[in-house]
Structure 1
Amino acid sequence: MSRPTILITAADLAPQALALLAGYEIVYAGKTPTEDDIVALCGRHDPVAIIVRYSKVGAAAMDAAPSLRVISKHGSGTDTIDKAAARARGIEVVAAVGANAAAVAEQALALLLACAKSVPQLDARMHAGHWDKATHKSVELGGRTIGLVGLGAIGRRFAGMAAALGMRVIGFDPFAGELPDFVQRVDLDTLWREADAISLHCPLTEDNRGLLNAATLARCKPGVIVVNTARGGLIDEAALLAAVQDGQVRAAGLDSFAVEPMVAGHPFQRQPGFILSPHIGGVTSDAYVNMGLGAARNALAVLEAAGTVAA
Structure 2
Amino acid sequence: MSDNRPVILVTGADLAPQAMALLNGCELVFAGASPTEDDVVALCGRHDPAGIIVRYSKVGEAAMLAAPSLKVISKHGSGVDTIDQAAARARGIKVVAAVGANAAAVAEHAMALLLACAKSVVTLNARMHSGHWDKATHQSVELDGRTVGVIGLGAIGLRFARMADAMGMRVLGVDPFAQSVPGHVQRVDLDTVWREADAISLHCPLTPENTRLLNRSTLARCKRGVLIVNTARGGLIDELDLLDALNSGQVAHAGLDSFCKEPMTAPHPFHGHPRLTLSPHVGGVSAEAYVKMGVAAARNALAVLHAERGESATL
Aligned position for 2:6: 4
Q: Does residue 1:79 correspond to 2:78, yes or no?
A: no
AA matched with 1:66? P
Match of 1:44, SS state, is helix
AA matched with 2:155? A
- Of 291, 295, 301, which residue of structure 1 is paired with 2:297? 295
Aligned-partner Cα distance in 1 for 2:119–2:126: 13
Q: Does residue 1:70 correspond to 2:84, yes or no?
A: no
Aligned position for 2:268: 266
- Of 38, 44, 47, which residue of structure 2 is paired with 1:45? 47
Match of 2:9, SS state, is strand
Percent identical among aligned pairs is 73
- Of 203, 207, 213, which residue of structure 1 is paired with 2:215? 213
Q: Does residue 1:92 correspond to 2:90, yes or no?
A: no
Aligned position for 1:192: 194
Q: Does residue 1:158 correspond to 2:160, yes or no?
A: yes
- Tell me by how many angstroms 1:263 deviates: 1.1
- Tell me by how many angstroms 1:3 deviates: 2.1
- Aligned pair count reads 310
Match of 2:271, SS state, is coil
Aligned-partner Cα distance in 2 for 1:179–1:59: 37
What is the 5 A alignment of 1:168-187? 168-187=170-189
Aligned position for 1:236: 238
**Superposed CA offset, 1:259-293 (max 9, x none):** 00011111111111100000000000000000000
Aligned-partner Cα distance in 2 for 1:130–1:4: 60
Aligned position for 2:257: 255
AA matched with 2:42? A
Aligned position for 1:201: 203
Match of 1:198, SS state, is strand
Aligned-partner Cα distance in 1 for 2:261–2:112: 23
Q: Does residue 1:28 correspond to 2:59, yes or no?
A: no
What is the 5 A alignment of 1:96-115? 96-115=98-117
AA matched with 2:257? D
Aligned position for 1:119: 121
CA RMSD of aligned residues (A): 1.0
Runs (4+) of structure 1 moved beyond 4 Å?
A: none
AA matched with 1:152? G
Q: Which blocks of at least 5 consecutive residues in structure 1 are unaligned?
A: none
- Tell me by how many angstroms 1:308 deviates: 7.9
Q: Does residue 1:132 correspond to 2:155, yes or no?
A: no
Match of 1:22, SS state, is coil
Q: Does residue 1:60 correspond to 2:43, yes or no?
A: no
AA matched with 1:154? I
AA matched with 1:207? E
AA matched with 1:187? D
**Superposed CA offset, 1:193-233 (max 9, x none):** 00000000000000000000000000000000000000000
Aligned-partner Cα distance in 1 for 2:268–2:53: 30
